[in-house]
Amino acid sequence: MRFQTCIAVVIAAAIFPLTLARADNTNAPLPSVELQGRVVCLSEEMRQKHGAQVPDQHQHDYGFKTDSGRYYSLVHTPLAEALLTDTNVQAKLLIVKGRVFPQTQLLEVTGRFRSISAGKTNDLFYYCDTCSIESSFPGLCACCRDPMHLVEQPVAAKPQKR
């Protein structure tokens, strides 16, 4: 009898976490979103909109403000690095692809982002002239270790099917 009870407890312990994970959807894939807007300092935005007591000298907490006025905190990932550090990117109107985690306003950038300039959509990427290497995030070239520079290039028009 004891042996059967032990087996039942072991089986229940093994099954229970799986049932719990499925019940609250923690392992469910999240849908991808595409948002248009700008990188902003969230503290400064809250000071301007709601009178938050933010000192003039403060560490910026960059986030993404959509054209509809919704704010998202950016999850610090390599793909979000340019949004968090490059003032050239921060000055642009952007289209960002990512995932928003359930019951949060946390945005994880999951792919390259684009800019909109003069009504046209552009790819944004970092490029090393020496090695002809593209990257999604700023920094040094993985090959020659020279600095990479930001390139804004019109999205290539897709050929129309006949």
Q: What is the 3-state secondary structure (H, E, C) of 82-114?
A: HHHHCHHHHCCEEEEEEEECCCCCEEEECCCCE
pLDDT tens digits, 25-58: 566 788 899 999 999 999 999 999 999 999 999 9
Residues 24, 38, single domain; the answer is: no
101 touches 30 (CB < 8 A): yes
Question: 12: pLDDT confidence band, cut at 50, 70 and 90?
Answer: very low
pLDDT tens digits, 113-136: 999 999 999 999 999 999 999 998
Is a pLDDT exceeding 80 seen at residue 3?
A: no
Mean pLDDT computed over 78-91: 94
Evaluate whether residue 159 is within a structural domain.
no
DSSP state, residue 79: G
Evaluate whether residue 162 is within a structural domain.
no
Evaluate whether residue 82 is within a structural domain.
yes
Q: Which amino acid is at 84?
A: L
Residues 46, 88, 83, 77, CA torsion sign: negative
For residues 137 and 81, what is the distance between their CA atoms, to the nearest angstrom? 6
> pTM to 2 decimals?
0.76
Greater model confidence, 143 or 5: 143
Residues 54, 85, single domain; the answer is: yes
Strands 71-74 and 106-109: parallel
Where do the H-state alpha helices sit in 24-126? 42-50, 81-85, 87-90
52 touches 21 (CB < 8 A): no
Query: Residue 139 is encoded by which pair of tokens?
Result: 């920094």
Residues 15, 49, single domain; the answer is: no
The CATH code of the domain that includes 101 is 2.40.50
* Total of domains in the chain: 2
Range of the domain at 21: 1-28
Evaluate whether residue 73 is within a structural domain.
yes
Residues 68, 146, single domain; the answer is: yes
Residues 54, 10, single domain; the answer is: no
